[in-house]
């Protein structure tokens, strides 16, 4: 597994198993949502290629937390849409209504060309996704799905089983990588899974565009999922100095280097190194700058609370923490526990999951 496997042959296994521990602890600590990505061929960036299996394991190991696919890739060349529909409703049953269906189109040309060789315009995947996404509610809610005849996939009339658990169907989300995709998702009544590589103030107008567009949504599903989730790196410790120390030693420079190694559709910042060159390791001064610029959640519980509130004030409905793989397990578990004890009770007083309320009213 790349650099980590050079020093530890079990690094891949440890990373996968530690991820399950983090979700289980998050469930105990009062977190409401956990998301599992689906990526292929992206060494060191993500080895979670079969996230449906991962989520099925966690369905049994957790009690209250909602588990989401961030994403399931519904492009027919990657996963047949019927298989995706079946996975969603199976997980809906295994979690007894705690599953969230996020979809998307893959991460850059390296991943996409593995399944669709020869494509020169990555927007081609948008055409496939657009053709597919509105069919899922029909597959779930029609007694016998009427079938589909499209450009990229087809199906005769068939019963798609199992049907969803309880009322309606799981909340639907879209992994948005650009400002226009936020508005597109809103018009379809989809929640957004946001990947933040920008400071809070630079995202406010994007979140505002989503909130404006969703007012007039024409939902493709049974209900409007008015939700924006943003993802950011987080480290919480008993003191500010300890949190910064963990951040400095956690190899935080490596993930952004991997992001721009594989996500070649993202605009590359000026001066950003081209792989295999990576960003230099972060020192204390640079970590403090990232905190000041609102590009990193890091500090003691009071500081982390204030940093999370900034995202709430900017219009985000949900904040997802990326937990750096270079940080030791016990220190990552400490972040989860401290946020659960000191931040969540002050920032989220609603006992009901936002998507549960939407689904019940749908």
Question: Could you tell me how many helices (H) and strands (E) the chain has, helices first?
Answer: 16, 10
* 187 touches 118 (CB < 8 A): no
**Distances, alpha carbon 318 to alpha carbons 160, 262, 348, in Å:** 31, 26, 10
Q: Is the dihedral of CA 135, 139, 143, 149 positive or negative?
A: positive
Beta strands in 99-179 (DSSP E): 99-103, 148-149, 154-155, 172-176
Q: What is the pLDDT of residues 19-60, one digit of tens each?
A: 999 999 999 999 999 999 999 999 999 999 999 999 999 999
Dig out the tokens for 277 from the structure: 């060159």
Rounded to whole angstroms, how far apart are CA atoms 101 and 68? Answer: 6
Nearest to 309 by CA among 327, 321, 297: 297
Q: What is the pLDDT of residues 205-256, one digit of tens each?
A: 999 999 999 999 999 999 999 999 999 999 999 999 999 999 999 999 998 8
Q: Does domain 2-361 have CATH number 3.40.109.10?
A: no
Rounded to whole angstroms, how far apart are CA atoms 311 and 319? Answer: 7
Residue 286 neighbours by CB under 8 Å, 6+ apart: none
Rounded to whole angstroms, how far apart are CA atoms 319 and 199? Answer: 14
Rounded to whole angstroms, how far apart are CA atoms 304 and 285? Answer: 18
Q: What is the pLDDT of residues 295-322, one digit of tens each?
A: 999 999 999 999 999 999 999 999 999 9
Which pLDDT score, from 0 to 100, does residue 268 have? 84
Nearest to 301 by CA among 351, 222, 258, 240: 240
Rounded to whole angstroms, how far apart are CA atoms 362 and 350? Answer: 20
Rounded to whole angstroms, how far apart are CA atoms 249 and 252? Answer: 8
pTM value? 0.96
Read off φ and ψ for residue 90, nearest 5 degrees: -65, -45
Q: What is the pLDDT of residues 93-147, one digit of tens each?
A: 999 999 999 999 988 899 999 999 999 888 899 999 999 999 999 999 999 999 9
Where exactly are the structural domains of the chain?
Answer: 2-361
Read off φ and ψ for residue 11, nearest 5 degrees: -60, -40
Taking only Cα atoms into account, the Rg of the chain, rounded to an integer number of angstroms, comes to 20
How does residue 265 score in pLDDT terms, banded at 50, 70 and 90? confident
């Amino acid at each position: 597994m790349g650099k980590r496997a050079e020093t530890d042959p079990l690094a891949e296994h440890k990373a996968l198993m530690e991820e399950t521990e983090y979700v289980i602890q998050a469930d105990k600590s009062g977190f409401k949502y956990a998301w599992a990505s689906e990526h292929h061929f992206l060494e060191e960036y993500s080895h979670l290629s079969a996230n449906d299996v991962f989520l099925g394991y966690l369905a049994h190991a957790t009690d209250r937390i909602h588990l989401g696919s961030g994403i399931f890739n519904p492009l027919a060349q990657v996963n047949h849409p019927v298989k995706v529909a079946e996975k969603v409703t199976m997980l809906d049953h295994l979690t007894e209504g705690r599953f969230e269906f996020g979809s998307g189109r893959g991460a850059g040309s390296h991943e996409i060309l593995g399944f669709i060789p020869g494509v020169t315009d990555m927007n081609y995947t948008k055409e496939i996704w657009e053709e597919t996404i509105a069919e899922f509610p029909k597959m779930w809610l029609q007694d016998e799905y009427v079938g589909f005849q499209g450009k990229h996939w087809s199906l005769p009339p068939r019963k798609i089983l199992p049907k969803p658990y309880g009322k309606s169907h799981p909340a639907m989300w879209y992994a948005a990588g650009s400002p226009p995709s936020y508005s597109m998702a809103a018009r379809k009544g989809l929640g957004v899974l946001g990947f933040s590589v920008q400071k809070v103030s630079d995202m406010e107008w994007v979140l505002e565009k989503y909130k404006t567009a969703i007012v007039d949504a024409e939902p493709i599903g049974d209900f409007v999922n008015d939700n924006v989730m943003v993802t950011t790196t987080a480290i919480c410790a008993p003191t500010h100095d300890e949190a910064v120390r963990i951040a400095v030693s956690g190899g935080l420079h490596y993930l952004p280097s991997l992001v721009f190694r594989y996500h070649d559709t993202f605009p590359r910042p000026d001066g950003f190194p081209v792989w295999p060159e990576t960003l230099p390791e972060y020192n204390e001064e640079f970590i403090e700058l990232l905190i000041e610029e609102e590009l990193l959640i890091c500090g003691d519980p009071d500081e982390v609370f204030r940093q999370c509130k900034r995202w709430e004030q900017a219009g985000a409905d949900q904040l997802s923490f990326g937990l750096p793989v270079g940080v030791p397990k016990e220190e990552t578990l400490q972040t989860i526990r401290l946020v659960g004890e000191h931040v969540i009770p002050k920032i989220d007083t609603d006992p009901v999951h936002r998507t549960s309320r939407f689904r019940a009213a749908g």
